[in-house]
Amino acid sequence: MCLAIPGKIINISGELDETFRSAKVSFGGIFKEVNLCLTPNAQIGDYVLVHVGVAISIVDQIEANKIFTYLSEMGEIDEITD
């Protein structure tokens, strides 16, 4: 199953223009480079849902925490760190 995982934007690490930006995103301490082309309003400190390396939407911290809780209950959190 493919899931979107919430992560927090730590910094905007690459920016060609408003459309082609990338960010360093923390997934509970695991850092990945993420494309922000679908979330042009995303800023440092925002939580984003990431699917296949692309941020697909911005969510608030409460929603991000709910998703982490659900993933943990399903036993899917371990896959993030693998």
Torsion of CA 56, 58, 60, 63, to 10 degrees: -20
Where does the pLDDT of residue 69 fall: very low under 50, low under 70, confident under 90, or very high at 90 and above? confident
Q: Provide the 3-class DSSP secondary structure of residue 3.
A: coil
Q: Given this model, what pLDDT does residue 75 score?
A: 77
Look at residues 68, 71, 69, 13 and name the one whose alpha carbon lies nearest to residue 42.
13
Residue 35 zone, left/alpha/beta (φ > 0; ψ -120 to 50; rest): beta
pLDDT in tens, 14-50: 777 767 899 999 988 889 999 999 999 999 999 999 9
Domain-wise residue ranges, the chain: 5-81
Its pTM surpasses 0.85: no
Task: Report whether CATH 2.30.30.140 matches the domain 5-81.
Answer: yes
